[in-house]
Amino acid sequence: MNSDIEKSLERQTLRQPRAVLDERVFSLLKEEEEEIGLGERGVETEKPMGGWVIFGSAMAAMIGLLITGWVVLGEGGWWGVKSGPVDSPDVVSRDDGTGDGKNAIGAPVSDAVSPVEFVNHVSAVEPGEVIYLTNQMPVRTVRYQAVETRRWVDEKNNIRIEMTIPREDIHLIPMNLD
């Protein structure tokens, strides 16, 4: 009934905050990160992309280790953990197609694993330079580094699986260069 009014309101050009507000807020958020011990990772953002490749590779290796650790847990049992059936659709396929009811790593398929717990932790926020889009709109680049952590728990067999994935997003924030 009032959709035309809403459309008219949406069409209006709004007054924008100045770029200095972004800097003020992001510096606050950066201070918070440093307080909780993430400052070193924040420094990492100052490095060229080569550093990111190394960082990403290290994280990928960590994921591999975690998955491998889980496989070993499933097969042999470490730290006194009884080995048992574990399955996660996001980590390994439920069935390797051999028709023997086992997945690709040889572990029997089970439905005992509880739902995924997901945590997305932003580890660094870095306001970057101002660039101009093709329509000459000025935008500030803001780089977000985040670490996604997914956890699966098989309480029956006392097994916990954790997968950590680093992520980097570049946000473009429109700005008014008054």
The contact set with other proteins (CB under 8 A) reads 1-2, 5-6, 8-18, 20-22, 24-26, 28-29, 31-32, 120-122, 125, 142, 144, 171, 173-174
Closest to other proteins by CB, 20 or 131: 20
Closest to other proteins by CB, 54 or 177: 177
Residue 39 Cβ, how far from other proteins at the closest point, in Å? Answer: 15
What is d(CA 86, CA 155) in angstroms, rounded to the nearest whole number?
A: 10
Phi then psi for 56, rounded to 5 degrees? -65, -40
Residue 10 Cβ, how far from other proteins at the closest point, in Å? Answer: 6
What is d(CA 91, CA 102) in angstroms, rounded to the nearest whole number?
A: 14
Place of tokens 């970057």: 128
Q: Which DSSP helix (H) or strand (E) runs through 63?
A: helix 49-75
Residue 11 Cβ, how far from other proteins at the closest point, in Å? Answer: 7
Closest to other proteins by CB, 24 or 82: 24
Residue 169 Cβ, how far from other proteins at the closest point, in Å? Answer: 9
What is d(CA 101, CA 134) in angstroms, rounded to the nearest whole number?
A: 55
Residue 112 Cβ, how far from other proteins at the closest point, in Å? Answer: 27
What is d(CA 176, CA 39) in angstroms, rounded to the nearest whole number?
A: 30
Quick check: 161 and 70 in contact, CB under 8 A? Answer: yes
- Pairing assessment for the beta strands 138-154 and 159-174 based on DSSP bridges: antiparallel
Closest to other proteins by CB, 13 or 134: 13
Report the 10 Å Cβ neighbour count for 154: 22
Closest to other proteins by CB, 12 or 134: 12
